[in-house]
């Protein structure tokens, strides 16, 4: 079953970015910058990430990528300055950005079904996805509904609900993942009452 673009848990926002420019910036990131996801029980294969924005006053890439709960101060990482289009995309969001990461799932890899916490429109912050590199063989399932994510789109996905990803293709799937503080602008973009 496919998810509707107007479902409360999967909403395509009216923000679209240039897929070619996204991929160009992706190509600026050296392979050695990608860090394996530390929650190894949640996936099979290759799942890694890099931080464009993370906790302030940390310099270790793992601390930038995986913030401690309760982090209050955030800052752009050194990688932000190396990726001008990702920086432009981030500046589009008229809300406070907390963690901003690129998450990469390798060919033939899966993210097992799991739930995240306190990242929905009912909470103080939510998670947005901007697919950077994807194709029709990569499936994002939310509450057992397939969400049709295409490169350059912006989606609010209620990751408090069960979700999983299957990369059945021979290329990496990469998403720009933005954790945002909810404000009236973001609610309006998602089509929810302000």
Residue 38, domain CATH = 2.60.120.330
> Is the predicted pLDDT of residue 161 greater than 90, yes or no?
yes
In a domain, 123, yes or no: yes
In a domain, 1, yes or no: no
In a domain, 58, yes or no: yes
> Is the predicted pLDDT of residue 72 greater than 70, yes or no?
yes
Once rounded to an integer, what is the mean pLDDT over residues 138-158? 97
Specify the pTM: 0.94
In a domain, 147, yes or no: yes
> Is the predicted pLDDT of residue 3 greater than 60, yes or no?
no
Token pair 């609900």 is found at 161
Q: Range of 45's domain?
A: 6-189
In a domain, 165, yes or no: yes
The pLDDT value recorded for residue 177 is: 98
**Region for 18 from its dihedrals, namely left if φ exceeds 0, alpha if ψ lies in -120 to 50, beta otherwise:** beta
Reported as a single tens digit per residue, the pLDDT across 77-104 is 999 999 999 999 999 999 999 999 999 9
In a domain, 68, yes or no: yes
Give the count of domains, the chain: 1
Tokens describing residue 166: 């299957």
Which one has a higher pLDDT value, 193 or 34? Answer: 34
Q: What percent of the chain has pLDDT over 90?
A: 79
> Is the predicted pLDDT of residue 142 greater than 50, yes or no?
yes
In a domain, 64, yes or no: yes
Q: Give the list of residues 6+ apart from residue 52 with CB closer than 8 angstroms, or none.
A: 76, 77, 79, 80, 83, 86, 87, 90, 100, 101, 102, 176
Once rounded to an integer, what is the mean pLDDT over residues 133-143? 97
> Cα–Cα distance between 10 and 148 in angstroms, integer?
10
The pLDDT value recorded for residue 100 is: 97
* Exposed/middle/buried for residue 77 (C-beta within 10 Å: 0-12, 13-18, 19+): buried
60-69, 110-119, 132-141: which range is least confident on average?
A: 60-69
In a domain, 194, yes or no: no
């Amino acid at each position: 079953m496919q998810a509707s673009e107007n479902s409360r848990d999967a909403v395509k926002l009216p923000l679209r970015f240039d897929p070619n420019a996204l991929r160009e910036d992706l190509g600026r990131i050296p392979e050695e910058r990608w860090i394996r996801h530390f929650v190894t029980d949640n996936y099979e294969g290759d799942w890694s990430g890099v931080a464009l924005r993370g906790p302030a006053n940390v310099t270790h890439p793992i601390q930038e990528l995986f913030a401690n709960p309760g982090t209050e101060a955030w800052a752009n990482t050194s990688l932000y300055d190396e990726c001008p289009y990702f920086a432009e995309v981030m500046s589009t969001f008229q809300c406070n950005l907390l963690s901003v990461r690129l998450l990469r799932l390798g060919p033939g890899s899966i993210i097992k079904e799991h739930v995240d916490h306190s990242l929905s429109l009912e909470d103080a912050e939510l998670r947005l996805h901007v697919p950077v590199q994807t194709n029709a063989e990569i499936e994002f399932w939310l509450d057992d509904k397939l969400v049709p994510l295409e490169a350059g789109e912006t989606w609010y996905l209620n990751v408090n609900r069960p979700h999983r990803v299957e990369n059945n293709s021979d290329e990496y799937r990469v998403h720009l993942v933005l954790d945002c503080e909810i404000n009236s602008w973001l609610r309006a973009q998602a089509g929810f009452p302000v």
